[in-house]
Structure 1
Amino acid sequence: MTEAVPSLVCLQGVTKVFASGVTALSDLDLDVRPGELLSLLGPSGCGKSTALRIIAGLAHPTSGSVAWPGAAAQDHRGEIGFVFQEPTLMPWANVADNVWLPLRLRGVSRRDAAGSIAAALALVGLEGFAAAYPRELSGGMKMRVSIARALSLKPRLLLMDEPFAALDEITRFRLNDDLLRLQGELGCTVVFVTHSIYESAYLSNRIAIMSPRPGRIVAEIEGTARNERGTDFRTSARYAELCRRISRQLEAPIAGASS
């Protein structure tokens, strides 16, 4: 019998109440498995971004626990990359210096970081843009820089908070494919927040569906393996059926909350 692989990170009974009195999460349980691309899907305001920030250590639960099996308490923070909804680039710095930022915060000199910066830009297809400034880039290119900045840390876990939501559909499809390629090359685990049924169905090994606020996990759906998502997957019957399954599971808690 094959021994189960321990979770990379595990949230147990996590509740988050803000100072305003708003309860964002209530008794949320979530296991993140090594090497998967897990999507968190749910309506606006259900606490998806809050859950991501708690995993990253940028926010702390009011109650419940966040465990990193097999990792010392201080070790995991250095293994996390975070891509926010907006690229959040420094407009006065060129692309290379924007990618350098997290390395600089760790005390790595610009000279010593040069190889990591170049490698990260190559991963996202921006080798020729190191000297460009954010104002010279398209929205999709800015997001690629943001991803490269997170990848410069060589993260074990990549957290992505609706990174493609503001992009046009063509650019979004292209970056979805790039993300799958990057995950395959790097072997990292990805937790991906999205509002899109179609995006979650295309990207994910597993989809965790959240209830309206206060958020908790109400259903999980197994997606597809990365090697099963070829160029025709978006038009396949299998993809359409997966989207229908996700849609039905998503509608149930929303209907319950509004009844």
Structure 2
Amino acid sequence: MRFPGGVEAVRDVNLAVAEGDFISLLGPSGCGKSTLLRMIAGLLEPSSGRIEWARDSRRELGFVFQEPTLMPWATALRNVALPLELAGLGRAEAERRGREWLARVELSGFEDAVPRELSGGMRMRVSIARALVTRPRLLLMDEPFAALDEITRFRLNADLLELWRQERFTAVFVTHSTFESVFLAERILVMTPRPGTIATELHVPAGDRAAPEFRTSSSYAAHCRSVSQALAAAMAA
């Protein structure tokens, strides 16, 4: 991807995403992670190359941005129900499903709250519920927890992973946190500085990630060390 001003953001990226994958794009700020995510979503067209889908599923995707991007005048329920109503679902059914997803992100009782009445973590939960209410096959997330405090971030990481295990959507998650990428992703794609390309791919076995104590385990520390080393090598390349 080369922008009109001449900046080449992404170069020679070759990536296959399988259904049900949880992939993390890890790299320094400005390396093209978000640009690549937007190309996958169809928000940007590649300057060259192509993005292929096994079948027409581009409409079956959800996107969670760095900021919650909620309608400030609308309640949490109205924000979550909106994608269903835009898809033609009746308001009553859209709100029923909206309530269901607010409950799944632990926001029962806050249906009538507007965004200014919610904490940052709660607003992000509403954004996640809005992205998942249509049951997308592919969920794209652009550093959604970067601005949150560590405690809230850890909790939302765990909640997101549990939703993925329940729903088995495909996820592509952008982060610049080694620790977050190891906790969440089966496949970690380490990107070089701009123009971004994939320097290496690392795997975290599902058996390791399934353990309740994974975040405090020696296995987690070892994976974080390996990913940190790969990131340092990509930065120095």
- Normalising by the smaller structure, the TM-score range is over 0.9
Q: TM-score, normalised by structure 2?
A: 0.96
The one of 28, 31, 40 aligned to 2:13: 28
Deviates more, 1:82-91 or 1:220-229: 220-229
Contact 1:85–1:162 (8 Å) recurs in 2: yes
Cα displacement (A) at 1:232:
1.7
1:121-200 equivalences in 2 (<5 Å):
121-200=102-181
Which residue in the other structure is 1:209 paired with? Answer: 190
Amino acid at match of 2:61: I
Deviates more, 1:223-232 or 1:177-186: 223-232
Cα displacement (A) at 1:144:
0.1
CA distance in 2, matches of 1:100, 1:237: 42
RMSD after superposition: 1.2
CA distance in 1, matches of 2:170, 2:98: 21
Amino acid at match of 2:218: A
Which has the higher relative contact order, 1 or 2, with Cα contacts under 8 A spaced 6 or more apart? 2
Which residue in the other structure is 2:93 paired with? Answer: 112
The one of 214, 227, 235 aligned to 1:246: 227
The one of 45, 69, 78 aligned to 1:88: 69
Amino acid at match of 1:41: L
| Structure 2 unpaired stretches of 5+ | none
CA distance in 1, matches of 2:208, 2:93: 36
Secondary structure of the 1:29 match is coil
Check if 1:42 corresponds to 2:27. yes
Amino acid at match of 1:33: A
Cα displacement (A) at 1:30:
0.9
CA distance in 2, matches of 1:60, 1:197: 29
User: Paired residues, what number?
Assistant: 237
Consecutive aligned runs of 4 or more in structure 1 exceeding 4 Å deviation: none
Q: Deviation string for 1:76-131 (max 9, x for gaps)?
A: 12210000000011110000111122223223332231222122112211121111
Amino acid at match of 1:230: A
Deviates more, 1:103-112 or 1:17-26: 103-112
CA distance in 2, matches of 1:172, 1:210: 23
Percentage of matched positions with identical amino acids: 58
Q: TM-score, normalised by structure 1?
A: 0.88
